A and B are shown apart, each in its own frame.
Chain A
Amino acid sequence: MTNRGLLRRRTGSGPSAPAFKRDQASGEAVTFQWSHLPLYIALLVGAFVSFVPFFYMGSTSLMTLGDTINRQVLPDVPQWTNYVEAWTDARFDLYLRNSVLLSAITILGMLFTSTLSGYAFARIEFPGRNVIFVILLSTLMIPGTVTFIPQFLMVRGDVIPWGNHLDTLHALTVPFFATAFIIFLFRQFFAEIPKELWDSARIDGAGHLRFLVQIVIPMSRPIVMTATLLTFVNVWNEFMWPLLITYTPTWRPLGVGLYTFIQEAGPQTHLLMAGSVITILPVLVLYFFTQKQFTEGIATSGLKG
């Protein structure tokens, strides 16, 4: 919690002004008032409901099978071995590695395509620019339910004769390298960079690529952070695509791994909850450390949508 001030200052810079930056409290100091007591009670009830499933998960993940049947709220003796069991026997070690790898590769690919195209759409004049951009944006309306069947056939090599790529690392990542929404965010950000910067770079003999790499990208920390976080959460939570195209554990990510575990574990809730903790924890840790950026990124982008 001590670094929150730092984060806030950091997010304050850059063109995508966070929606919360303005202090809503109209400058009044935040103090406890008795008249607000019902508010606090209502909020605490809400927070309790939000949090109970997490508590249940954490607590159950440390129980013995007997504890889960005996209606216990907390385990008698925390069973850390549950984690060891889920980790090694249920292959969560492999799934976690896969999820980390998939996220990292997808984020790199996303940053590559999105900075380039976001920059071009914002700052380079070329014929058809707006038409192409609108066409790309229109993919946001297309539900995954419509596209997954052709995508599956494409990856299997039925549509374009490039061979069968089911159950490969690149089939799990490459389709997510470019999303219209992230490109849109980058374009918004780049459009607000002062034109004078480009003019002076141009005088120094820099082309667009050099300007982008040396000047624009170092300025773009906030948007790179937001895009990275959004992509990370999307990849981490992606379920249908890896379920469709992985049939061995080799590249199976956590979500699908947990799902197969649900099918197999049956009544062993304590192990299942340990697996859930392993799946959730990385996202939660990341969220704790970047929550300002995270919620602000989502709020501003959500409103523009």
Chain B
Amino acid sequence: MQDTAPAPTSSPAARKRIRFKGEWLTGYLFILPATVLIGLFGLFPIVYAFYMSLYRWRVRQGPFVGLDNYQQLVGDWVGAASFIGGLLLVVVAHSLWIGGLRFASGWGRWGRLLGALTLLAAGIAISLGWDRLMTTGDRDYFASLVRTFYYGFISVPIQIALAITLASMLYQNIKGRDWFRMVFFLPYVTPAVAGGAVFRAIFSPREERFANQVMTDLGLPAQRWLYETEPVSELVVNYFITRFGGPGAELVNFTGFWAGPSQALLTIIIFGIWTYTGYNAVIFMAGLANIPKNLYEAAKIDGANGRQQFFHITVPMLSPVTFYLTVLGFIGTFQAFTQLYVMRSPATRDAVDTASLEIFDMFYLRNNFSMAAAQSIFLFVIILILTLYNQRILGRRRTS
């Protein structure tokens, strides 16, 4: 219908051109609704968030302040540059390591050495930059980034390890595979608010609730779970001190980065693991289906047992999927909102709020729109580097 009928022209080339123009118009009309919507609600907000971050903006737009919001956020530009530069150096180090910048034969070994050195430099840059950000910048924000880091570094590896184990078990010749898969996948489709409500009830500080019942059945003290702001490491050590230390033993008090996450955050991490393990397992199963069967048959002929097959065939063959899920998991961590928002309480905000909640509060509670925008742009840069890293690796795999 949209196609203009071929006009009676003399040359076939002209006819073709007109037909193509009609087709162009159809194409543009077809993509118009989606493009307008995504442009309006997906792309434009990025530009506008950056625009907002350059103003003083509390509920209503104020005067232009340039980079003042960023200045206030990071405190000191050297720290920020060092931190972001260090993150980028990790990407460079990786490509050096895998020989992405190979110039001549025999480069491989030097590439690895250089890659290792670059990684070391990246680590130094990140940690030095981080120190300056923490001392001169917005402490609350960077503390929330640390909690995001805990969240990611604890939940993602556990999810992946559990998922790969589940997937390879389900992949055996067992009865009721569909049934198991369905049960493992259930948490993923559960609305996070409802799941969070259930976990809140289970991990309530009240003694009669499920988690504390299990604790007391095991002979352990009841915990405050979601209301506990102290780090888990401290709680565990203090438990042993009170248990075995005798009457005069002093309790420890851990603070700082190496103290690790609070018990409240750990409870939320447990919820995250419960939610996403099944999802990861389903993707791993799809990956398993792509592993050639004859690899296992050859291994069996060579006398490899199940464990050897798992570690020498399954795990290596699944490594691209593992990588994909790891990066996806970290990006998801940076964006995690609902689970944390539902499970936190006013008293534990300093113990559980990750970056996205900090930004939300800056906007919603403190009404500092421009600062929230600046914080979100900073977070976006970090996520972007992670995503680029992911894309590079996946892109390389696709071409090779």
Interface residues, chain A, CB within 8 Å of chain B? 4, 19-20, 22, 24-26, 28, 30-33, 36, 39-40, 42-43, 46-47, 49-51, 53-54, 56-57, 60, 68-71, 112-114, 116-117, 119-121, 124-127, 129, 132, 135-136, 138-139, 141-151, 153-154, 158-159, 174-175, 177-180, 183, 207-210, 233, 236-237, 239-240, 244, 254-256, 258-259, 262, 269, 272-273, 275-276, 279-280, 283-284, 287-288, 291, 294-295, 298-300, 302-303, 305
Contacts and interface: CB of A to CB of B under 8 A. Distances in A.
Interface stretch (B46-54, B119-127, B135-143, B231-239): B46-54
- Sort chain B's interface into a size bin: 35 or more
Contacts of A149: 45, 49, 52, 363, 369, 372-373, 376
The 9 closest A-B pairs by CB, nearest first: A126-B27, A120-B30, A150-B45, A139-B42, A19-B286, A117-B34, A147-B45, A124-B27, A299-B286
Interface in B1-34: 1-3, 20, 23-24, 26-28, 30-31, 33-34
| A contacts with B: majority SS | helix
B191 A236 contact: yes
B32 to A, nearest CB: 8
A159 B48 contact: yes
B23 A46 contact: no
B169 interface: yes
A26 B210 CA distance: 43
B261 interface: no
B379 interface: yes
B208 A272 contact: no
Nearest to B337: A240
A145 B37 contact: no
A157 to B, nearest CB: 12
Contacts of A295: 181, 185, 282
A142 B46 contact: yes
Contacts of B186: 50-51, 54, 284, 287
Nearest to A133: B31
Contact of B335 (A69, A144, A298, A303): A144
Interface string B190-214: 1111110111111010001010010
Given A143-B379, A207-B1, A269-B201, A132 B41 contact: no
A208 B3 CA distance: 8
A175 B37 contact: yes
Contacts of A143: 331, 334-335, 356, 376, 379-380, 383
Contact of B355 (A24, A53, A145, A294): A145
B192 to A, nearest CB: 6
A299 B282 contact: yes
Given A43-B166, A46-B162, A272-B197, 17 more contacts: A26-B293, A124-B30, A125-B24, A126-B27, A136-B38, A143-B335, A143-B376, A146-B46, A146-B379, A149-B373, A151-B45, A158-B61, A175-B41, A183-B34, A233-B189, A239-B193, A299-B285
Nearest to A278: B194
Contacts of B289: 19-20, 22, 24
How would you classify the secondary structure of chain B's contact residues: helix, strand, loop or mixed? Answer: helix
Contacts of A240: 337-338, 341, 360
B170 interface: yes
Nearest to A51: B183
Nearest to A276: B194
Contacts of A112: 33
Nearest to A125: B23
Contacts of B43: 135, 138-139, 142
Contacts, number: 311
A177 B178 contact: no
Contacts of A25: 173
Interface in B224-243: none
A112 B32 CA distance: 11
A116 B175 contact: no
Interface of B: 1-3, 20, 23-24, 26-28, 30-31, 33-35, 37-38, 40-46, 48-49, 52, 60-61, 162, 165-166, 169-175, 177-178, 180-187, 189-195, 197-202, 204, 208, 210, 213, 274, 278-279, 282-283, 285-290, 293, 321, 324, 328, 331, 334-335, 337-338, 341-342, 355-356, 359-360, 363-364, 369, 372-373, 376-377, 379-380, 383-384, 387
B191 A280 contact: yes
Nearest to B213: A71
A273 B364 CA distance: 28
Given A42-B169, A146-B376, A237 B191 contact: yes
A147 B41 contact: yes
Given A43-B180, A295-B185, A280 B194 contact: yes
